[in-house]
Amino acid sequence: MARVLSVVSSGYKDRDYHTGWWGEELFAPLEMLEQAGHAVELASPLGGKPELDERSILPEYDPKGTYKALYESGRADDTKKLSEVNPTDYDVVLIVGGHGAMFDLAKNDDLHRILNTVYDRGGIIAAECHGSSVLVYTTRPDGKSIVDGLKVTGYPDVWEPEDVLPYLPYSLE
């Protein structure tokens, strides 16, 4: 049994744009990992209840209402604060996608510390969708990127909703 830390965005809001973590990208792996007997804990920059990207539970993206029901169950309502996470407690870190990751996870020093510790202990670092933005900014003690020399995929601009592109802080592509 592995101990998995799933990291989600606390959310981002401005006058015209609100985003956070993506429902399916937390709940689909969470259910599979728990069914396989792994222990999954949640963390976010601020701790507590993180902001969901409401689009992710619209019928267009969640036609059966699976992730909406899990969200409404409260399963993601209580996250640890990243600054309080002891990385030696985990074998795996999963960075959950959603546009929010680009705002509050990508350059988060606490998350970078956790990733480097788990990596140095031979653990698994995984990122989904926009969660891969964190890997772009995570550096090793020698100053090189944690993904230096590796093949990495990211989210292409052509798949971004046109109404969202103007609000993103950079292109993940």
User: Taking all residues of the chain, what is their mean pLDDT, rounded to a whole number?
Assistant: 96
Nearest to 45 by CA among 137, 111, 113: 111
Identity at 153, one-letter amino acid code: T
Contact 118, 91 (CB under 8 A): yes
Q: Is the pTM of this model over 0.75?
A: yes
Q: Which residue did the predictor score with more confidence, 151 or 2?
A: 2
In sequence order, the 6+-apart residues with CB closer than 8 A to the CB of 2 are 33, 38, 39, 91, 92, 124
- Residue range 3-167, CATH number: 3.40.50.880
What are the tens digits of pLDDT across the range 131-152? Answer: 999 999 999 999 999 999 998 8
Q: Is the pLDDT of residue 45 over 90?
A: yes
Work out the average pLDDT over 113-120.
Answer: 98
Q: CA-CA distances (angstroms) from residue 148 to 28, 62, 140? A: 29, 35, 9
Instruction: Give the model's pLDDT for residue 154.
Output: 79
Give all strands (DSSP E) within the chain, no chain letters: 3-7, 12-13, 18-19, 39-44, 80-81, 92-95, 124-127
Q: Could you state, in order of their start, the residue ranges of all structural domains in the chain?
A: 3-167
